[in-house]
Amino acid sequence: SRVLVLNGPNLGRLGTREPDVYGATTFEGLAALCRDAGRRLELDVDVRQTDDEAELIRWVHEAADERLPVVLNPAAFTHYSYALRDALAQRTAPLVEVHISNPAAREEFRHTSVVAGVATGTIAGFGTFSYVLALQAVVELLAEEAD
């Protein structure tokens, strides 16, 4: 089944962006990691990134309309975008929030997620492997739905 892996602002700059925090993997590397995990897990993974809140919200609406599960790294939108949260609240399939770093171990403003309360669950702090864990979670959630 199809899964959207959506990424918010500045994640297109992975590899050069604060490598001490986010690691050396580029966004293309992350996308390849997700597609490889998808092949193993028999998921058709569609990886996207945008710096634009409106575009991200359109993708979330598309997922709701097409009943697609979503793995989402909302990046900084995590901490303040009520518009994104309201879009996600319309979800019709599992939603796994992911973070590369562990926001709970960082600055105070990263301790709040306005998205977490409408997600199925959150995976954070495992580097880019957070995405692989999130895709595994999607497989489990779809299997639970099926039986």
Q: For residue 129, what are its two tokens?
A: 């492997």
Provide, rounded to whole angstroms, the least separation between the CB of residue 113 and ligand DQA: 9
Among positions 8-47, residues that touch ligand DQA (CB under 6 A) are: 10
61 is catalytic: no
Contact between 120 and 95 (Cβ < 8 Å): yes
20 is in an annotated binding site: no
Residue recorded with tokens 């575009």: 55
| CA–CA distance, 41 with 92 (Å, rounded to integer) | 21
- The β-bridge partners of 95 are 70
Sign of CA dihedral 32, 145, 92, 76: negative
113 is in an annotated binding site: no
Q: Helices marked H in the chain — which ranges?
A: 19-22, 27-41, 53-66, 82-88, 129-146
Among positions 72-101, residues that touch ligand DQA (CB under 6 A) are: 73, 75-76, 78, 99-101
99 is catalytic: yes
Among positions 103-122, residues that touch ligand DQA (CB under 6 A) are: 103, 110
Q: Judged by CB, which is closer to ligand DQA: 17, or 142?
A: 17
86 is in an annotated binding site: yes
List the binding residues.
73, 79, 86, 100-101, 110
Instruction: Give me the active site residues, please.
Output: 22, 99
Binding region for ligand DQA (CB under 6 A) = 10, 73, 75-76, 78, 99-101, 103, 110
